[in-house]
Amino acid sequence: MKKLLFAIAISVLGSTVLKAQTNYKAALGLGIDLYDEATFFGATGKYFFSDNHVGQADLGFEDNATIATFLYSFHKEFVGAKGLRWYAGVGPSIIFLKYTDNIFALRPHVGMDFKVDGVPFVINFDWRPAVVLSEVGENEVAAFGFGLQFAID
């Protein structure tokens, strides 16, 4: 499943790089947070505090668990690829579990964000491992995020 989502993200990004624009102030949509043994689906949103400084919040749901993630990212456009940005940052995640203690994790991340000119959608894909800070849970290296959002100017 992770390989398929990665292939789709790269295909979409690669096929539309020629007509792209990054000018948007915020975006709201659907997100997927993929762990090795869990997949969270839910809402995602991001807000540009400036051209490069971005806040993002994700709320995902899975059987017997809910995850809330709050990320700070530094975004920068690729030279010669209008609309395609790389980003990196960090933020906390809290996984609320139904039958055990909650898991607190730090989520460093690095990824790509793409906005097509004339189309109000943003696609993003990132690698976001989980460094567990609580007594419960395990570190997760194979964790990825994928989002499809509606851009708000």
Q: Provide the pLDDT confidence category of residue 36 given band limits of 50, 70 and 90.
A: confident
First-to-last CA distance in the chain? 32
**What mean pLDDT is reported for the chain?**
87
Nearest C-alpha neighbor of 58 from the set 41, 34, 39, 35: 41
Contact yes or no for 43/59 (Cβ under 8 A): yes
Domains and CATH numbers, the chain: 24-152 (2.40.160.20)
For the cut 70, the answer to whether the pLDDT of residue 123 exceeds it is yes
Q: Are the C-beta atoms of 108 and 128 separated by less than 8 Å?
A: yes
Distance CA 143, CA 153 (A): 30
Can you read off the two tokens belonging to residue 129? 């491992």
Helices and strands (H, E) in the chain, number of each type: 1, 11
| pLDDT of 56 over the 90 cut | yes
117: DSSP letter:
T
Instruction: Tell me the pLDDT tens digit for each residue of 65-111.
Output: 999 999 999 999 998 888 899 999 999 999 999 888 999 999 999 99
pLDDT-based confidence at 5, cuts 50/70/90?
very low
Average pLDDT for 117-128: 92
